[in-house]
Chain A
Amino acid sequence: MKHLFLVLFTLASISIGAKEVNTNQDDFVIKLDSTSVIVKKNGSGTFSIYKRIRINTLAGCVKNSVLIYNYDPLTAFAEFKKVLIHHKQGKTEEVSVINACDYVAPARAIYWGARQIMIGINGLQPGDELEYTIEKKGFTYALLGSDANRFVPPMRGQFYDIVPFWVETPTKKKVYEIIMPKSKQLQFQFYQGTCATSVRFKGNNTIYKFIKTDIVPFKKEPNMVNLFDVAPKLMTSTTPRWEDKSLWFNKVNEDYGSFKSTPEAKQKVKEIIKGKKDDMEKIAALTHWVADNIRYSGLSMGKGEGFTLHNLKMNFTDRCGVCKDIAGTLIGFLRIAGFQAYPAMTMAGSRVESIPADHFNHCVCVVKLKNGTYMPIDPTWVPFVRELWSSAEQQQNYLPGIPESSDLCLTPLSPPENHYLRIKATNKLHKDGTLTGKFVVTAEGQTDSSLRRIFTTGWQSDWKDYLEKNLLKVSPKAQLISIDYGHNPKDYQKAPLKMVYSYKIPDYALVAENTILVKPLVMNNLFNSVKSYLAIADLKQRNYGFKDRCSRLIQLDETISIPTGYKLVGKERQDDITSETADFNGFLEQRNNLLILKQCLTLKKRIYKASDWKDFREAVNKHKDYGQFIILNK
């Protein structure tokens, strides 16, 4: 839950290394990274965070010359307890923690007053060792009460933690310890690796200890899934089931009155759904209005911020908020329109495990349909997108906060045809290598959203140059004769995007004696920005799962009228590949003076397993292969 409203984790790549960490290598090495948590009966925790770092180089000094630690002042308190420099020459110097700074951290988009503590480590030299302890009390979320209650989690008595056991810096030893009353039951699991684990009883407490040694960063695979899905991590929770968390999330927002209607909101809802005939039309209209008009900028409501959805009055007045407030506005609107709607938590970017450890960073909503099922909707991710649930979030776990409780759910795959890119080009190749012609590009779903972005979120003064640039990427000499993108390309709800380009490209083909070499225009850097699969590195083999932006269908058709007398060199082509991961079929042939190229690439998922790579790669590479020069000879 503490990560509920962050966008994505940006942790560096690592791997589980078998070799021993040499503390004299690298710019700096962590000799010991230890966290010990004492959990009280009410669920609040006191964290003691200790690190000992060996500095080996000047760059290591620069990187460790300032220590910074983040905390949320609404629910936690953090301070440096002790900082020591063990100088190479043998002297130990204590850095006065009185000089530590405690301040509101730099912020953009979320303005909840998150704080940092910071201390400067002056005079650090290669060969020195730095040792420090930070003490943190509380949680990253909690209902505010008196000072003493500030650190008590909102699910009173419950404790959880998510502990990455990967590192950014070579680490000799990493220890995580929980000391909690015997009366509490803790479930835990160490994922994607192993560690030394122990459970001991001491007095009225149980002590859980997890130790891993010689952890080294490893080479990351480009486009791989999130590290939480592949790297070693520890998940712990005293909450028995996800259903308990679901009920709590429902109750906390209902009790607060997050969705209570207001006369102004009622009037707006009436205006939005006017003329809408059925439930889906109403849901769509309300979702898109909220998505487009409640902007992402998070103010703090004070008590309860972080997990309580701002009330409808605040949201509709402010017209801004983070994902939970945008979702809250939609829930309020849907309820005014007569629907049953509730909030849901989700984790954009990585898998949520079965242990209910609040591994969420995003908030969405669910609406009950007439057939009794709940449909997830995400207004935060669909501004100017022709979807109600963004398919950039397919194959993603979510937990609805509904009155009857829910287990963890998973969003389904989105069919590739819902996100098509179709380009149909009719070209004429002239003897001197000039290409003239026209193409029609149409797109839907996530592809529509990407291609339309210049109209929906770009500056109007940039439109003309941007649209021309699409063609100039094919050739700097391209001349845009005309472009038709309809009367109002900003109106994304009306229909899938359609643009018609007419152009002339001098020197497009290579002309040499009796030979002409020409690349299919549709395969020549045209709209590569929406072909996200092209950015996936072409590795021979993958050890980890990988991800694309979305499932997608690419249909590219081109006919080229060629100068009389020229014939295609080599064989005509026909390819047909089918698998559960990706399909490709295409052909290239000459009919009289026409070259005809057709191809269709179907990429069926957003998140792929490592074992999907062979089929994915084969289909994509066959598709790319059609971008080679076509050779014509007289």
Chain B
Amino acid sequence: MKFLQYTLLFLFVSVFTLHASKPEAQYKQLRISYTLNTDGSMDYHFCKELTLFTHTAMNRTYGETFITYNPNFQNITINEAYTIQKEGNKISLPKNALIPVLPRCASGAPDFNHLKEMVVVHTGLELGATIFLDYTIHTKKGLYPFFDINDCLQQTSPVKDCEVTVSYPSNQPVVVQIVGRNTSAKVTKNDDMTTDRYVFKNIPALSREAYQVKYDPSVLRIVASETDIATALRSVKSKFEDTIPTNLKAAADKLITTKKTKIGNIGTLRSLVAQNFSVKHIPYSLNGISLRSFNKIYNSHYATTLEEASLLYNLLHMEGFQADLIAVFPAYLEAKNCGLGSVTNWIVLAQDNLNSYIQKTQGACYYKIDGTKLNIKSDLKKITNSKTLLASKGEKNNGYTILSLPTFKNGVDTWRMNTLPTNRNTVLEIPSRISEESLYTIDIDNDAHFLTSKYNKKITNSAGLFSQDIEVQGKRIIVKRRIRLEKGHFNRKEYRDLRLLLNEWYDANNHLLVFSN
């Protein structure tokens, strides 16, 4: 018995401790400061000290730092950049290791050709080397309507010491939210400026697990704004034109028909806009809320997400449909104290098409462009699939026929969660809350004999339900498979139950029926 205990202990050790993960690198220090100056300009100061332990860190991961900026409003200063090699040699960054290039997001968009990405190629890297980088971005007044921060402080490697400061004129208060950790700022006042200082020790690396929560309140993040959400959104609305390009209106007029339903016509207009433009994902941090004129957008055949959404919003109104332009925020934030930097997407709500979007975006909250919050509860996604099959169409093998029940392209099968590992540390998010039922009708169109076994199953647990029933009705077999997952998120304990249900759903053997000829 003691031997068995030792054996089990050994196995446990061999499976789990051998894999105990070490970091690829470590930030010894991370210092970030955000400053709103009295003249309305802003400064972002970033300083990192990063030690590399592995080739993975040295090569693909941390070999370069990419800093995007908008030269029309911003200038970048590299204050210090060098590498200290393992034995202490200091390798200063050569001039040719700073390369300003066009950011990929602005590729193929002449109107955004002024944007830049500074590539800092860290030289002299080796295992044990430490990268030092210190830079400042100064932003002139005008790029952003308000002082606005939304940055993830957690990094892909652990951070030993992290200091973050937010400074602003004392007569222009800024609301700071720290997400993912209970902490408070040390506030100091000098002259007319107030500084909130946050210190964090031993910040763990971001998890690399799959299917993490998109809007995860456990990830350390700083969010700050000098304004409220309604004011911020109204600043976007004020940029809108009241008209749309004549050609677009004419094209829309031709497509709208009384033969189609209202939803059908809305879909047509949506397609018209989508087909007219290639979308350029220019982030708010680079472009602020600048909107080109609708004529310019239309003629250029490309648009930012906000430009495309605003054009569709206006087009729907012009064609007599009710529509709203909606800003999407993470629900864990106090959105009322957020700026536009926290908007994760812009969508157009026409009729009830928001529901399907919400199912894909759990943990989000929605604000109309006038600043009012939408109270929308997401529904459970309900899917019913059915298929009729002939037993004789199965694969023949030595006097037996093996019939595969096909998977479907609209439910859990599309999630591909069939290799979920046994253990998990972070909360798992499924693509949507779901209730799915697959019905298969199999006609035995020959003399084959159906070999039944333990096909009927039902599992109910904290994650939901899985069931599979097979009923033989003479020469017909009815297979009913069901899975119901009412939660969108699963913690470590619930994860095991979720995995149990999904494994049954995905198990290839549960999709096979065997007949003897």
In chain B, positions 1-57 with a C-beta closer than 8 Å to chain A are 11, 14-16, 18-19, 21-24, 54-56
Q: How far is the CA of A515 from the CA of B453 in the complex (A)?
A: 10
Query: Which of A66, A120, A317, A384 sits near B123, CB closer than 8 Å?
Result: A317
CB distance from B133 to the nearest CB of A (A): 15
Q: How far is the CA of A167 from the CA of B508 in the complex (A)?
A: 44
CB distance from B300 to the nearest CB of A (A): 6
Q: Is B378 an interface residue (CB 8 A)?
A: no
Give B109's nearest chain A residue, CB to CB: A66
CB distance from A91 to the nearest CB of B (A): 15
Give B512's nearest chain A residue, CB to CB: A510
The interface-forming segment of A194-202, A386-394, A476-484 is A476-484
Instruction: Enumerate chain B residues within 8 angstroms of A464, measured Cβ to Cβ.
Output: 16, 19, 21, 421
A104-B99, A123-B299 given; A468·B121 CB < 8 A: no
Q: Is A593 an interface residue (CB 8 A)?
A: no
The interface-forming segment of B72-80, B330-338, B398-406 is B398-406
Instruction: Enumerate chain A residues within 8 angstroms of B275, measured Cβ to Cβ.
Output: 58-59, 62
Q: How far is the CA of A482 from the CA of B91 in the complex (A)?
A: 45
Q: How far is the CA of A383 from the CA of B60 in the complex (A)?
A: 13
Q: Is A475 an interface residue (CB 8 A)?
A: yes
Q: Is B419 an interface residue (CB 8 A)?
A: yes
The interface-forming segment of A43-51, A292-300, A330-338, A607-615 is A292-300
Q: Is A458 an interface residue (CB 8 A)?
A: yes
Instruction: Enumerate chain B residues within 8 angstroms of A68, measured Cβ to Cβ.
Output: 108
The answer to whether B453 touches A118 (Cβ under 8 A) is no
Q: How far is the CA of A520 from the CA of B209 in the complex (A)?
A: 31
Q: Is B461 an interface residue (CB 8 A)?
A: no
The answer to whether B402 touches A517 (Cβ under 8 A) is yes
The answer to whether A320 touches B121 (Cβ under 8 A) is yes
Q: Is B422 an interface residue (CB 8 A)?
A: yes
The answer to whether B419 touches A295 (Cβ under 8 A) is no
Q: For A479, A508, A631, which residue has the most chain B Cβ atoms within 10 angstroms?
A: A631
In chain A, positions 92-138 with a C-beta closer than 8 Å to chain B are 99, 101, 103-107, 111, 113, 116, 118-120, 122-125
Query: Which of A62, A320, A465 sits near B125, CB closer than 8 Å?
Result: A320
Instruction: Enumerate chain A residues within 8 angstroms of B99, measured Cβ to Cβ.
Output: 104, 107, 111, 113, 299-300
The answer to whether B117 touches A106 (Cβ under 8 A) is yes
Query: Which of B125, B399, B453 sits near A511, CB closer than 8 Å?
Result: B453
Q: Is A577 an interface residue (CB 8 A)?
A: no
Count the A-B residue pairs with Cβ separation under 8 angstroms: how many?
200
Query: Which of A297, A472, A628 sits near B419, CB closer than 8 Å?
Result: A472
Q: Is A507 an interface residue (CB 8 A)?
A: yes
CB distance from B18 to the nearest CB of A (A): 8
A476-B503, A480-B15, A511-B454 given; A317·B111 CB < 8 A: no
The answer to whether B104 touches A106 (Cβ under 8 A) is yes
The answer to whether A472 touches B94 (Cβ under 8 A) is no
Q: Is B58 an interface residue (CB 8 A)?
A: yes
A124-B301, A457-B55, A461-B208 given; A118·B15 CB < 8 A: no
The answer to whether B300 touches A456 (Cβ under 8 A) is no
Q: Is A256 an interface residue (CB 8 A)?
A: no
In chain A, positions 271-323 with a C-beta closer than 8 Å to chain B are 292-293, 295-297, 299-302, 317-320
Q: Is B218 an interface residue (CB 8 A)?
A: no
The answer to whether B402 touches A629 (Cβ under 8 A) is yes
Q: How far is the CA of A479 from the CA of B509 in the complex (A)?
A: 16
Instruction: Enumerate chain B residues within 8 angstroms of A59, measured Cβ to Cβ.
Output: 275
CB distance from A239 to the nearest CB of B (A): 31
Q: Is A368 an interface residue (CB 8 A)?
A: no
The answer to whether B126 touches A65 (Cβ under 8 A) is no
30 contacts between A and B (CB under 8 A): A59-B275, A62-B277, A65-B301, A66-B108, A106-B104, A106-B107, A106-B117, A107-B99, A107-B119, A118-B108, A299-B97, A319-B123, A433-B509, A459-B208, A460-B21, A461-B205, A464-B16, A465-B421, A475-B507, A475-B509, A482-B11, A483-B15, A484-B18, A510-B453, A510-B512, A511-B454, A515-B400, A517-B400, A517-B402, A629-B397
Closest 6 CB pairs of A and B: A512-B451, A570-B398, A65-B301, A464-B19, A461-B21, A122-B299
Taking Cβ atoms with an 8 Å cutoff, the residues of A that contact B are 58-59, 61-62, 65-66, 68, 99, 101, 103-107, 111, 113, 116, 118-120, 122-125, 292-293, 295-297, 299-302, 317-320, 383-384, 433, 456-465, 467-469, 472-473, 475-477, 479-485, 507-513, 515, 517, 569-570, 628-629, 631
Taking Cβ atoms with an 8 Å cutoff, the residues of B that contact A are 11, 14-16, 18-19, 21-24, 54-56, 58-60, 63-64, 91, 94, 96-97, 99-104, 107-111, 113, 117, 119, 121, 123-126, 205, 208-209, 247, 275-278, 296, 299-302, 397-400, 402, 418-422, 451-454, 502-503, 506-509, 512, 514, 516
